[in-house]
Structure 1
Amino acid sequence: MEGIIWHCPDPWRPLLPPGILAAEDARDLTLRRWPLLALTGRGTELLDRADCGILLVPGERAETVLARVRAETVVTYGLSHRDSLTLSSLSEPVVCVQRVLPRPDGGTVEPQEFPLPAGLPAPAAELLPLLGLRLLQMPLTGNPFSW
């Protein structure tokens, strides 16, 4: 496994990129140092401790989470202009990468926008942790959001 998402909603599980574990047991977080750890909003509330390379976390909760997680790099997501990963449009959702993001494989994701396909399993703002995982894990030779 290359990464883990803490408290992944069930409908997202089939959409997770290869190599990502959907964890519900806190022991999964402490098994090892994860190259990539994604936290859902619910996951930030239930998190005890973890160690990771890249932490994908809601921007408004990053400071609180960093008291419990050791991370080399923090990538925030949310609707604030300060978040690294946000949406530039809500009516026709477009994921916006605001700054260069590191990938666990050593590559990067350059600032750019990705239009999202129709038929998302939830509102785009709720899917930002899943979308971030796909950007950071999936090959960027094609659209990382083609389900």
Structure 2
Amino acid sequence: MSRILPPRADNRFRGHAAALWLFVPLTFMKVALGLVHIFRADGGAQSVSTMPLDAYPAGAAQNIIGLMARMGLEQLLLGLLFVVVLLRYRALVPLMYAVAVAHYAAQYAIASMKPLALAGTSGASTMHMVIGAISALGLLLSLAGPGYRRAPNY
């Protein structure tokens, strides 16, 4: 547990170097997804997730777009937290991977319980599976690095 919640949140990454390299695109993907949901006219609902917004009353479509933008804000804030960890607190990279894995596992469970009615196959589903797999691999690599074998300098 001390690998996920280290006693000291410094900039020394102790995991496998590949985990840090995987964390960089994961971070930028989180930021980019948040920006798409916030700034795209449809919030990514129809253009990415294939929600049939044009089949809904205008108020319902606007509510979906607003909810997508709010979801984008959460993704953007989490992505910016990832940026801070990447630049200043690399000891917390395993924690961020654990958060990402928990997020995608919970998102999958909720989607199974409450599926969306889509007009086609969502372009986001494949990307989310890839991001989830990268997060899981990154978590494993970040917990199994050579830096954990040496005595910490606290």
TM range (shorter): under 0.3
Query: Structure 2 length as normaliser, TM-score?
Result: 0.25
TM-score (norm 1): 0.25
The structure with more radius of gyration: 2
Higher relative contact order (CA 8 A, sep 6+): 2
Structure number with higher strand proportion: 1
